[in-house]
Structure 1
Amino acid sequence: MEYALLGDLHSSIDDTKAVLAHIALTAPTAKVIGLGDLFECKIGKRKANTLRLSRIEETAVWSETFESLLTFSSVRGNQEERIMMVTSGNQFKHLPEHIIIDGAMLMHGHQWEWTKEWTPVLPKTEPPLLFFGHSHEAGLYRKGKRLPFSYGVPVYLKVKRYGINAGAVFGTREWVLYDAVTRAVTFMKTD
């Protein structure tokens, strides 16, 4: 089965439409799943600890147009968690912290440590493939090292532990195609 994995949409209508159109064109049978940070929280980390607002429109970049694009399941990102904190709501409690698909774990990426250079310190997961987002930088990682890749060229993964950052929809219009049968990961990007 093929999966189209996309994260860090940050409420961007134009970027999300472009990526979803690219998925429909290049991988029409792939199951689309989000890697979190679907929405953009307007409140910074520090203020979120004390500020309480009742309306989601005050807290997040929110529109019915954007919400109508979210026809796929997703994990919960730190932006969704901050929106819930500020509104004292549970709008995103239905989004799990992780999802397991064929041979892979999906998480946002805010759950673990990152180096000062924004290299992820990946947790050991079962299954051993870990797809994530959070840093907005597409990357393929093995044993703490970043491996080379080219957009549009499949990388066939050995039966080992890898971290795969899908990059960001917002700003760079990136996503990853994962073929669970062949263990191929293809980093994708559209205009």
Structure 2
Amino acid sequence: MLYPASQNGLVTVKPTVGLVSCAGILPISHSQDTAGPMTRTVRDAAMLLNALAAEDPLDPATERQRRPTDYTADLTGDAMKGARIGVPSDPADLLNDRYYDKLPPGSAKAMADAIKVLEDLGAVIVRANIPTAGWIGGPGTSMNVLNRNPLSRNKGNVATPPIVFLYELKRDLNLYLRRTSWPSTRRMRSGRCGSAGPVPRRRHDQG
């Protein structure tokens, strides 16, 4: 949600896992991914979160979360006053940065302007070096996978996906397919996905 919202000028809230039900959703990682609102305004996001945040017997994770009665209650004119907002500072390690590396001038100006607006509204900007993707994790959080598919254009290449992508997605995809009965998922379960219609079937690299 964070990336598509930032790329399209939208407001989003990524809820704590379990705040919003993920029943019927196929996540990449059920321990990390969650559903949430993407809207044009903060008020719209708060109103939508009021409707989304609810306990759901189909998602046990929702049983453990507390929820306020109204997320719009704190939407006041001075709500930003005193709020502490972290902003990644200039990196200590230029070769291991994911926040400022090759940032286009237009993007850098837009970010600086947004920070200035928050400061003018009374927010306290906390600049700090934040561990980047290169520092987070370590041995055991990802693994090398050799592409052996003879029909793939990437055959012979090695990918390093996160462990959760390999194990959680595999489990959740199978569970999702078992629980759904739409024609498209029935074809996927039977291995006939892509075989219907006049277009010749291709494995991977469909294009």
Q: TM-score, normalised by structure 2?
A: 0.22
Bigger proportion of residues as helix? 2
Bigger proportion of residues as strand? 1
Q: TM-score, normalised by structure 1?
A: 0.23
The structure number with the bigger radius of gyration is: 2
Higher relative contact order (CA 8 A, sep 6+): 1
